[in-house]
Chain A
Amino acid sequence: MRREIPLAITFLIGIFMLVDFFVPHYRVSGLAEEMKQWGTIVIAASILLGVGNLIRVHSHKIRRKSEGWQYSLATLAIMAVMVGFGGPWGTIEEGSPFNWMFLNMQVPLQSTMFSLLAFFIASAAYRAFRLRSAEAALLLIAAIIVMLGRVPIGQWMTRGLPEKATLPWLTETIMAYPNMAAFRGILMGAALGVMAMGLRVILGIERSYLGGEK
């Protein structure tokens, strides 16, 4: 009983949403839209679970005075400050302290992490020079061609040649043809995997997301 009810609910709702794609009737579409909204609300409500876990893990560290406990204290303190600024009265509009902290702490930190990718992509490319196999060589050659083809140096390097032998043209060709053919195939296979898995979820065969068997 305890296991069957959620599975039955999953089945009914899953089938309903599946059918929504084929039935344009406004009552069906309307209800499906409502239910999609419910999904976002449920997820929003779950944030406290995550924050609770964060608080628990960090307070354990502080209590045990394990290595780096001072940083955990910083995490909890700054979180309390953020919640204090924005929480109780919803003062989250532009110009509020809450918004300031977001713009001047979270945004620069996130953008900087994102920009680290420039360094990492270079180190990854450099390591790929250690050709492990013929396939890696192909990847590398294609990467170099496209990289050069996209910048002015590539155009300059092959400027004298007929149009169809220049780097930018080659780049375009690669992006248009083998790229597209390959991705069509892998996406098609992945799509079938998604559908098979979706069917398994609806039928209740795949239950990992519910956690334990009980």
Chain B
Amino acid sequence: MAELFWTTVGAILTLSIYSFLYKDNPFYKFAEHLVVGVSAGYYLVIYYWNYIDPNVATPIFLLRVGDESIGFMSGQWWMAFIPGLLGILLYARFFPKIAWVGRWPLGIYVGGYAGLGISPVMQARVIRQLGANGLPLAGVDDPMAGMTNFALGIVIFAVTTYLFVVKRSIGAGNKIARVGAIVLAAVIGYAGYVVLTLLSNAGVVSMTNILLVIGLLGTLSYFFFSMRHRGILGGLARIGIIFLMVGFGASFGYTVMSRISLLIGRVGFLLHDWLHLVD
């Protein structure tokens, strides 16, 4: 019985949140204010009983860490007292005369974590990536070669078409000449694809590794703030933003399925756990 009550409460709250999709209404407002209140109470209690009590209050006042006793003013006692003191100092901000002392805990916390974060970030995001990107540009077994070369063939076709038809205006006014130019561009594109494939298979060139190198070069150029994006830097930056957009699109597409499965989960709760309509 109690379970049905609580499941119904959960279901009503769930539906209240979904009503938000239609428009703001009292049910949603109530659910929103409820979750804010519940989580505030929850974190207040949890932070005290799971963090402050075992690590600060019990050692300082009850002289106990876990099941062991510790001495007053012993090393372990100080290890509990200092953070407790820092925590209390945070509240000094309410007393104008000593408000400045309230900055100390923040200074320690932020400074400490700033120092902590710097080196691992350098290691993981810069050094490792440089090591991984100093890739051999040639002679590598390239599993994605077919796709890359095909795509590059298309790029060559597109660029050649652009050059012929737009830049040089070949066959302007003569439809047949124009079509001929496009066909020629397609042939050139296909030839490019064939050449690249031969080179890849012979292990002379690894197009995907070249792609990775150009990608990194492009994105780093995009984030270069010291010069205007003109000339070569501008071209590289353009390539960079193209890579970024493809990457963002891929992330976007990748996430869609996981978000939809969340929805399926909630609908499953409503139909299965609450209404028992489905198995």
Contact = CB atoms under 8 A, between A and B. Distances in A.
The answer on A and B forming one complex is: yes
A100 interface: yes
Contact of A185 (B33, B119, B220, B246): B220
B90 A42 contact: yes
Contacts, number: 393
A162 to B, nearest CB: 8
Contacts of A51: 40, 44
A138 interface: yes
Nearest to A6: B107
B118 A71 contact: no
B201 interface: no
A139 B242 CA distance: 9
Contacts of A66: none
Main secondary structure of the interface of A (DSSP, over half): helix
B103 interface: yes
Given A140-B249, A194-B121, A102 B42 contact: yes
A125 B87 contact: no
Interface string A119-136: 101000100000000011
Given A186-B244, A198-B114, A45 B90 contact: yes
A10 B110 contact: yes
Nearest to A35: B112
B162 interface: no
Interface string B214-234: 111111101100000000000
B103 A210 contact: yes
B277 interface: no
Interface string A10-41: 11111111101110000000001011111111
Most A CB atoms within 10 A — which of B37, B244, B255? B37
A125 B119 contact: no
Interface string A74-107: 1111111111001100101000001011111111
Given A44-B47, A109-B31, A115-B265, A143 B114 contact: no
Contact of A17 (B32, B103, B112): B112
B263 A2 contact: no
B266 to A, nearest CB: 4
A102 B40 CA distance: 11
Main secondary structure of the interface of B (DSSP, over half): helix
Interface in A62-78: 68, 71-72, 74-78
A171 B240 CA distance: 20
Contacts of B29: 68, 71
B248 interface: yes
Given A42-B83, A198-B117, A100 B13 contact: no
B246 A101 contact: no
B278 interface: no
Interface in B154-202: none
Contacts of A75: 33-34, 36-37, 40
Contacts of B257: 147, 150-151
A35 to B, nearest CB: 6
A211 B14 CA distance: 39
Given A16-B115, A71-B29, A109-B13, A49 B256 contact: no
Contacts of A139: 245-246, 248-249, 252
Contact of A41 (B34, B87, B216, B252): B87
B25 interface: no
30 contacts: A35-B108, A35-B112, A44-B52, A45-B88, A74-B34, A75-B33, A86-B45, A86-B49, A90-B45, A102-B42, A112-B14, A118-B259, A139-B246, A142-B250, A144-B249, A146-B252, A164-B146, A177-B215, A179-B251, A181-B247, A185-B218, A188-B125, A188-B126, A188-B129, A188-B216, A191-B126, A197-B114, A198-B117, A209-B106, A210-B103
Given A51-B40, A83-B45, 17 more contacts: A10-B111, A14-B114, A21-B119, A35-B108, A35-B112, A54-B36, A71-B29, A81-B41, A111-B265, A119-B263, A138-B249, A146-B249, A165-B150, A174-B250, A180-B215, A182-B246, A191-B126
